[in-house]
Amino acid sequence: GPAGTGKTESTKDLAKAIAMQCIVFNCSDGLNIHAMAKFFKGLIATGAWSCFDEFNRIDLEVLSVIAQQILQIQQCKAAMKTNILFEGTELVLKHSCNVFITMNPGYAGRSELPDNLKALFRPVAMMVPDYSLIAEISLYSFGFVDARSQARKIVAVYKLCSEQLSSQDHYDYGMRAVKAVLTAASQLKRKYPNEREDVLILRSITDVNLPKFLQQDVDLFKNITSDLFPGVKLPNPDYNTLNTAMTSVLATMNLQSVQNFRKKVLQLYEVVNTRHGLMLVGQPFSGKSSCYKVLAATLTYACKKLGSLDELPTNYYIINPKSISLNFLYGYSDPVSKEWTEGVLAEVYRKCATATVPDRQFIVFDGPVDADWIENMNTVLDDNKKLCLMSGETIPMSNSMTMMFEVADLRQASPATVSRCGMVYMQPEQLGWWPLVLSWLSQISEFLDESLIEHLNELFDATTGQCVHYIKTRCKEYQNVPEGTLVVQLMRLLRAFLHKYRFFEKEYISKIKLEVVQNSLDMIFIYCTIWSIGATIDEKGRQDFDRYLKQLIKNPQKCETKKDKLIKFEKQAMLPEAGPHVLVYDYYLEQEESGSCKWKNYQQIIDSVSATDSIPADESYHNIVIKTAEQLRLTELLQVAIQYHYPFLVIGQTGTGKSTYINTYLKSLSHEKYLLVGINFSAQTSSEETQLIVDSKLDRRRKGIFGPPIGVSCLVFVDDLNMPQLDKYGAQPPIELLRQFLDQKGWYGKDRKFMEIIETSLIGAMGPPGGGRNQITSSSEPNQLQMERIFTELMSWYMNKIQLNDENLRRTFKLCIEATVEMYMNIVQNLKPTPAKCHYLFNLRDVSRVVQGLQLISKNQIENDKKIIRLWINEVSRVFYDRLSFEQDQVWFYNALCSSIRNKIKEDIKMVMKGPYDHIKYNLLTPEPIKVIRFGELLGNVDGDRFYDEMIDMEKIFAKVEYFLEDYNQNNKRPMTLVLFEFAIGHIINICRILRLQGGHGLLIGLGGSGRQSLTYLSAHIRDLRLTQIEMSKSYQKEQWIEDMRKVMIQAGVDSKESVFIINDSQMSKSFILEDLNNLLNSGDIPNLFSQEDFIPVIDRLRQNAKKEGKVKLLEQGTNQQFYDYFVQTVKKKLHIIVTQSPIGDTLRNRIRNFPNIVNCTNIIWYRQWPEEALDAVGHKLISE
């Protein structure tokens, strides 16, 4: 039957009536056959009864075995045997033993019972009982005289509530809710035996129910009760002691005494007194955590300082249930040795239950509620009051314990849980963000003069409310952030900049004129507002907010607080007007000697230095970072976040440079002061792996406290923060783990003790959308002008490097860059990804690949500007055209290409092709020029330098490839019989181009047998590269994979051999392989591949390499971490990864969605259908043989 119909209680009552021992046990999905067998052996030997509560939560596989076990017992009883051989143990059978099971049909996390089990039991359906009869008899037993009418009123209140109030996940009006009112009534009757009965009943109905209602339901509820209890006035309860205590507690905790908040604390107190399990429900910034912390401190204060006899000192323990696995929470038995390992909760629970002092104990679960973990507590939360572990042990609860759950919503909880708990609902609107500001102001008041604090208060008053409202109603955010977060972010930035500009040094400030100080304060406040409240919106939102903020500063508005004085911003504080393209986001502050501040534009810094002069000519292409305004902005904020240990999160599209900018800055920090830990999240990341990576870098400082080596700060940089998959209830354990770290400054270690982590800060980067409680800044995609600037700089660096001084040729290259950017913008607009074309994902890395391709040609090969344009056509086609899988897209691309050549490069395609390609016919429906232009290295000398050059003569190419194929077959154990035709040769040229690019990786998509692997083998042979592949077998596990990957990485990173690693789709069936590939493609590294001991022998060999390359600084001062970075850099340069995938089915789609780097970091070639002449050539060859 459904929750709260008396299933368990009826069973217990029957046992009581005939004097049988009855054991109630709460079943969970972790129960295995061995634990149940132990139970049954006990029943057989003692003849007791057992009631298995929520039996259908056990896994189906286990249930059918249990059915066999029960059947055996029943058959022996029926045959009147005295002995039984049960699971290998000979036992004396007592015939009184029996099994009862209770279950809720159709709730979350429940299974259907198998037929062989149903046949063994007699089903009894439980209906909803007559509440008013039960209530009436209970009230009589508590000493109420007028019990019948009061009982009817209680039931009527609930009936009306369920019909009239809004429907919420945390409302429940069942038998357990009636029971809570009765419990409260009995307590009140004992306390006030002479009070009128209807007053007592109304008081208990109100105390139990009022805390859980939403603001709009409270008035309706009051109407219902006043109709049922006409004319009953409730006397105000006596909370004097508590109120006195709370006032002083709020003052010590630096919290504001808000009327609504105080009301909630007292409501929580009432619920703690009537229920031993309760939930604090509400969105972030509604004050849930503060509520129970204030209550605990208030009760302790009342007992110790005010000598109240009713209250006891109170302790609380916090656990985040989703940041650790279920086994680690409750405990588990080892599948092999059957040894039992205690869980975190069991340990804390036992400690509270067996405490020798009578103090109150709150166990707080701070994290999402779902059926998986919370249902294991059902026996704790109802009248049985005991925790059932999977080992079969039960721990009774002491009277001073309370279980609290702090959650945002109860979408995933079943009625079985909701009905067992008291509820206190909190809304952020009732609190608002203003108390946060007041607490912050009182916190910094010890550093600042009163006049400045007053001035800050007016600034918040004049601008913050309006800005937050504008962002929330008019702009689109990259990710929805609670209002409280925006304001907290503003206060963190303010504190950092006030400190940075020496506002906290009273002597320094006192020497400067008050007007100057106030003016600087205004400017700092405006700057911090832009980068906190305005930081999370998209490009269009930024333009709107820019206009709104400038308007607001010119004529500020009055806000809700009752100040007559209106603030005025001075002329200097206003942001300069500088044309349509310059937004408030382009400015930063500079402090002068006199202490006054000035607005400066980032663009001025960038224009003043040429980006290319500072880049050394031998720098590898991927390591070049061109300075942009975006980078300077990000670095400025990142610097502040790191210096003041604030968490920092950057959001933006892939390829906009989030990770590059962050890594560039982190690498520039001194290795003596900072320890860097990089983690790449993907869909399969688990919280255990994340914890392992961080823990492996920390040392134990003293008992329970961990941190980086002394004198060093640890920075954890998490890339792709929002990639982990949601579990079936919508939570992301790795993110819960990080949230626990930000909230409680630590997590539970392997020994189940809480590890406090110090001197460690968190930095994150992710694409939109996602969630979190961090300092957030969005990194916008560069606009067309910025892109042209970045890539033109890259091109000029290369032209200077090869000393190309011909102005005409230089101009042509620059026009090609503009054309590339135009093509990119055009492609992103028109070729969108769909389920059939899921690999049509374009980002800035693709533009970068075109530019990298243009740099393959050397100075002597550049004969005229027409050749440069043909080279450009080749590179753009390789990057964008090769992945197009539909003919109409190819035709669209060709037309877009022709129009870019006309509009940007001011040439006609026929003129560009004139000379070498006079034989081709032009029409707009066949992209003939794209097909015939070929650049590559096949025609160079075999032994000498092979230049990247235009290859026109097809016959020569044929002959050359034939030669390489013969050479391959002579030198290899497995010769290939390849039939060469134009189509295949085109692919060989393309794969060779990928392998020629530094750090070039390929994704080859095509059907099996289309030549993806064999052509890669031949191309690697042509480029003279080492080729590695893994040998998969059925027993291939993570250990073998790690071994194989170490070999691959050492070959590239230590032996410095350029090598190719090829992996096909059948080899990628295991998720850990995809996970590691995803990391390897992005960063050149696989986390935790080498332990510190494994890496020591590698370092010795790296030293010799560093010596050859003349890296003096690395040799003299290099730490192990720096050698590892050097190793990863070499791997990035030397290793090529080729992934081959079939387009059939949805595996390609799923892999691209869960492991985006497989597309983002590779050159994609789509193998189209073989043309007729190809099939012809194969037939001829086979028949002639």
Q: For the ranges 99-103, 560-564, 1037-1041, which has the lowest average pLDDT?
A: 560-564
pLDDT of residue 566: 64
- The single residue listed with the structure tokens 């005295």 is 82
- The single residue listed with the structure tokens 């406290």 is 705
Tokens for 693, please give them.
């990576």
Q: Nearest-CA neighbor of 723 among 367, 1156, 368? A: 1156
> Is 633 in contact with 587 (CB distance < 8 Å)?
no
- Residue 1070: φ, ψ to 5°: -85, 140
Cβ-proximal residues to 383 (8 Å cutoff; 6+ apart), any chain = 9
pLDDT in tens, 327-337: 999 999 888 88
Average pLDDT, the chain: 90
pLDDT in tens, 527-561: 999 999 999 898 889 999 999 999 888 877 655 44
Longest dimension (CA), the chain: 114
CA distance 1069 to 82: 54
pLDDT of residue 493: 95
Quick one: average pLDDT of 296-308? 94
Q: What is the Cβ-side half-sphere exposure of residue 233, based on CA atoms within 13 angstroms?
A: 2
Strand arrangement of the beta sheet that strand 98-101 belongs to? 22-26, 49-53, 98-101
Instruction: Report which of residues 426 and 726 the model is more confident about.
Output: 426
> Is 469 in contact with 533 (CB distance < 8 Å)?
no
> Is 697 in contact with 334 (CB distance < 8 Å)?
no
CA distance 275 to 277: 6
* Count of other CB atoms within 10 angstroms of residue 976: 15
Helices (H), 89-196: 115-118, 131-141, 147-164, 175-191
Q: H/E/C letters for each residue in 946-991?
A: CCCEECCCHHHHHHHHHHHHHHHHHHCCCCCCCCCCHHHHHHHHHH
Cβ-proximal residues to 1152 (8 Å cutoff; 6+ apart), any chain = 838, 839, 841, 1158, 1159
CA distance 837 to 854: 27
Q: What is the Cβ-side half-sphere exposure of residue 76, based on CA atoms within 13 angstroms?
A: 22
The per-residue b/e assignment along 485-506, b for 16 or more CB within 10 angstroms, e otherwise, is bbbbbbbbbbbbbbbbbebeee
**Residue 1005 clears pLDDT 90, i.e. is over it:** yes
Interhelix angle 147-164/197-209, nearest 10 degrees: 30
Q: Nearest-CA neighbor of 634 among 523, 762, 776? A: 776
pLDDT in tens, 118-171: 899 999 999 888 999 999 999 999 999 999 999 999 999 999 999 999 999 999
Q: Is residue 772 very low, low, confident or very high in pLDDT (cuts 50, 70, 90)?
A: very low
pLDDT of residue 770: 43
Q: Nearest-CA neighbor of 553 among 487, 464, 434? A: 464
CA distance 53 to 384: 11
Share of the chain above pLDDT 90, in %: 62
Share of the chain above pLDDT 70, in %: 98
Q: Is residue 894 very low, low, confident or very high in pLDDT (cuts 50, 70, 90)?
A: very high
**Residue 715 clears pLDDT 80, i.e. is over it:** yes
| 200 DSSP 8-state letter | H
Question: Quick one: CA torsion of 106, 107, 109, 113, rounded to 10 degrees?
Answer: -30
**Residue 891 clears pLDDT 90, i.e. is over it:** yes
> Is 47 in contact with 97 (CB distance < 8 Å)?
yes
pLDDT in tens, 854-869: 999 999 999 999 999 9
**Residue 562 clears pLDDT 50, i.e. is over it:** no
**Burial (CB count within 10 angstroms: exposed 0-12, middle 13-18, buried 19+), residue 1120:** exposed
> Is 669 in contact with 708 (CB distance < 8 Å)?
no
**Residue 796 clears pLDDT 70, i.e. is over it:** yes
pLDDT of residue 776: 59
Of the ranges 19-33, 140-154, 564-578, 711-725, the best mean pLDDT one = 140-154
What is the Cα gyration radius of the chain? 36
| Secondary element (H or E) of residue 681 | none
| 768 DSSP 8-state letter | S
Tokens for 690, please give them.
């994340």
**Burial (CB count within 10 angstroms: exposed 0-12, middle 13-18, buried 19+), residue 1145:** exposed
Quick one: average pLDDT of 993-1019? 93
Quick one: average pLDDT of 1074-1097? 87
**Residue 1097 clears pLDDT 50, i.e. is over it:** yes
pLDDT of residue 416: 86
> Is 517 in contact with 504 (CB distance < 8 Å)?
no
Q: Nearest-CA neighbor of 300 among 270, 308, 289? A: 308
> Is 844 in contact with 825 (CB distance < 8 Å)?
no
DSSP class per residue in 492-547: HHHHHHHHHTTTT-HHHHHTS-HHHHHHHHHHHHHHHHHTTTTSSB-HHHHHHHHH
pLDDT of residue 61: 86
Tokens for 908, please give them.
């006609």
Q: Nearest-CA neighbor of 586 among 554, 632, 627? A: 632
Cβ-proximal residues to 356 (8 Å cutoff; 6+ apart), any chain = none
pLDDT of residue 248: 96
H helix count then E strand count, the chain: 48, 32
How long, in residues, is the chain? 1185
Q: For the ranges 682-696, 815-829, 942-956, which has the lowest average pLDDT?
A: 942-956
Tokens for 141, please give them.
């037993």
Quick one: average pLDDT of 947-970? 93
**Residue 771 clears pLDDT 70, i.e. is over it:** no
- Domains belonging to the chain, first-starting first, are 7-119 (3.40.50.300), 131-228 (1.10.8.710), 239-427 (3.40.50.300), 433-555 (1.10.472.130), 621-766 (3.40.50.300), 785-933 (1.20.920.30), 955-1184 (3.40.50.300)
CA distance 693 to 591: 41
Quick one: average pLDDT of 226-249? 93
Q: Using omega within 30 degrees of 0 as the cis cutoff, is the peptide bond preceding 230 cis? A: no
> Is 330 in contact with 390 (CB distance < 8 Å)?
yes
- Residue 42: φ, ψ to 5°: -60, -40
